[in-house]
């Protein structure tokens, strides 16, 4: 494995930023560290780089324990959120900086820089200074500079945070392409779940310094380890319910809860995609009014209002929307195909239950 953390913790002045985190990133993998701001993911990245020292625990890079190895000797490539390009150096000198430090010969250096300029589509910008570049170009220079000395791992801190949406999409595609070409083990931090889902092979989800779940995008979406993950990855309707006679009730919604004692309070969740909807008010179990329909491109986001005022979010494709003959402020009916129960202590929830 390329990167391994074993029970790593970090405190800043007595405040825990990272609590007992363990995970592995395999050779050649592209992994996202995902979580809300202040969740400790950047701290984890900086500890792997050696820019912060862990308070407890061990960090291994390529099987070697690096806790006592200085940043300079870890042979990592680090891309900072705000690029951190050297303003007094041209693009060429920025990229060659690490190679000069590592005492590469003039010829090899020139070859390597030319290769990276080509790879990151920076040809023709060699003699520009960073302030003469666009945000996307700066980001690519930062990536080229980090990759130049052939690091054993590439670490990126919110690599697409500071550019606008269109460039961000381009840069994501860059990263994926670059990774499949170079196959360098890559770990990047992001707070954007969509970005993590799109780019990464596996996602590590963080909140308040704890690792909540690690797995392929599909897995964390379909089998969230807890309510936090379920709500962070994708959208989810979550309701507080009370059990009566083996049925959990939240407003008009009823979910089977066999074997649960009366008075038990359960948190239930279901994805907007699990809502089946019809323009016929009597077709499905629950009547509601379609309050708003938001067009999001391929899918429509629908807001349903039940007679008690309970709001339910649903998602369907725009073809389905037309086919079903739905309209805003019209009565509809719906049913819920699957739901899951979140236990109170945030332990792993039961598998999704199908409602028939």
Partner 1 sequence: MPATRFNPLPGFGLTMGYTLVYVGVIVVLPLAALLVRTLDLTPADFWRLATDPRAMASYRLTFGASLAAAGVNALFGTLLAWVLARYRFPGRGLVDALVDFPFALPTAVAGLTLADLFAAEGWLGRGLAMAGIQVAFTPLGVMVALTFVGLPFVVRTLQPVIEGFDRELEEAAATLGAGRWRTFRSVVAPTLLPAVLTGFALALARAIGEYGSVIFIAGNKPFVSEIAPLLIVIRLEEYDYAGAMALAVVLLAISFLLLITINLLERWSSRFRR
Q: Return residues touching partner 1 (CB under 8 A).
A: 49-51, 71-78, 80, 82, 84-90, 97-98, 101-102, 129, 131, 145-146, 149
Tell me how far CA of residue 214 lies from CA of 1, 45, 103, in angstroms. Answer: 16, 16, 39
Residue closer to partner 1, measured from CB, 51 or 279: 51
Q: How far is the CB of 247 from partner 1 (least distance, A)?
A: 56
- Return the structure tokens found at 25: 């990133």
Q: How far is the CB of 117 from partner 1 (least distance, A)?
A: 17
Nearest Cα residue to 304 out of 249, 285, 319, 104: 285
Asked if 173 and 98 touch (Cβ cutoff 8 Å), the reply is no
Residue closer to partner 1, measured from CB, 53 or 101: 101
Residue closer to partner 1, measured from CB, 87 or 245: 87
- Return the structure tokens found at 214: 């690690």
237/312 Cα distance (integer angstroms)? 7
> Diameter of the chain by CA atoms?
80
DSSP 30-70: EEEEE--TTSSHHHHHHHHHTSS--SEEEEEETTEE-TTS-
Q: How far is the CB of 156 from partner 1 (least distance, A)?
A: 12
313/236 Cα distance (integer angstroms)? 8
Asked if 256 and 246 touch (Cβ cutoff 8 Å), the reply is yes
DSSP H or E stretch at residue 11: strand 3-12
Q: How far is the CB of 89 from partner 1 (least distance, A)?
A: 8
Q: How far is the CB of 94 from partner 1 (least distance, A)?
A: 9
Residue closer to partner 1, measured from CB, 102 or 291: 102
Nearest Cα residue to 91 out of 132, 128, 123: 128
Residue closer to partner 1, measured from CB, 59 or 146: 146
Residue closer to partner 1, measured from CB, 30 or 76: 76
Q: How far is the CB of 99 from partner 1 (least distance, A)?
A: 9
Cβ atoms < 10 Å from Cβ of 330: 11
Asked if 331 and 257 touch (Cβ cutoff 8 Å), the reply is no
Q: How far is the CB of 179 from partner 1 (least distance, A)?
A: 19
Residue 223 DSSP code: S
Residue closer to partner 1, measured from CB, 96 or 178: 96
Q: How far is the CB of 106 from partner 1 (least distance, A)?
A: 17
Residue closer to partner 1, measured from CB, 84 or 247: 84
């Amino acid at each position: 494995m390329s990167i391994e953390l074993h029970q790593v913790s970090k405190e800043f002045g007595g405040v825990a930023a990272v609590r007992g985190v363990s995970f592995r990133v395999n050779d050649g993998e592209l992994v996202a560290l995902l979580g809300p701001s202040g969740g400790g993911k950047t701290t984890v990245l900086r500890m792997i780089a050696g820019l912060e020292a862990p308070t407890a625990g061990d960090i291994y890079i390529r099987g070697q324990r690096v806790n006592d190895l200085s940043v300079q000797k870890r042979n990592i490539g680090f891309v900072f959120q705000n690029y951190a390009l050297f303003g007094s150096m041209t693009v060429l000198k920025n990229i060659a900086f690490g190679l000069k430090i590592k005492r590469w010969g003039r010829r090899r250096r020139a070859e390597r820089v030319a290769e990276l300029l080509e790879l990151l589509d920076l040809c023709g910008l060699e003699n520009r200074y960073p302030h003469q570049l666009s945000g996307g170009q700066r980001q690519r220079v930062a990536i080229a500079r980090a990759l130049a000395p052939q690091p054993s791992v590439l670490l990126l801190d919110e690599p697409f945070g500071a550019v606008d949406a269109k460039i961000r999409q381009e840069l994501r595609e860059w990263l994926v392409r670059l990774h499949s070409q170079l196959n360098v083990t890559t770990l990047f931090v992001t707070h954007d779940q969509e970005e993590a889902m799109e780019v990464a092979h596996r996602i590590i989800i963080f909140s308040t310094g704890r690792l909540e779940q690690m797995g392929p995008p599909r897995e964390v979406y379909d089998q969230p380890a807890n309510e936090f993950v379920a709500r962070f990855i994708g959208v989810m309707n979550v309701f507080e319910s009370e059990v009566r006679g083996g049925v959990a009730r939240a407003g008009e919604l009823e979910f089977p809860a066999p074997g649960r004692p009366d008075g038990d309070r359960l948190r239930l969740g279901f994805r907007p995609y699990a809502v089946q909807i019809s323009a016929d008010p009597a077709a499905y179990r629950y009547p509601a009014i379609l309050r708003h329909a938001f067009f999001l491109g391929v899918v429509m986001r629908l807001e349903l209002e039940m007679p008690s005022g309970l709001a339910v979010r649903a998602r369907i494709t725009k073809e389905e929307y037309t086919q079903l003959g739905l309209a805003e402020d019209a009565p509809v009916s719906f049913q819920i195909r699957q739901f899951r129960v979140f236990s109170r202590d945030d332990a792993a929830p039961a598998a999704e239950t199908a409602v028939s």
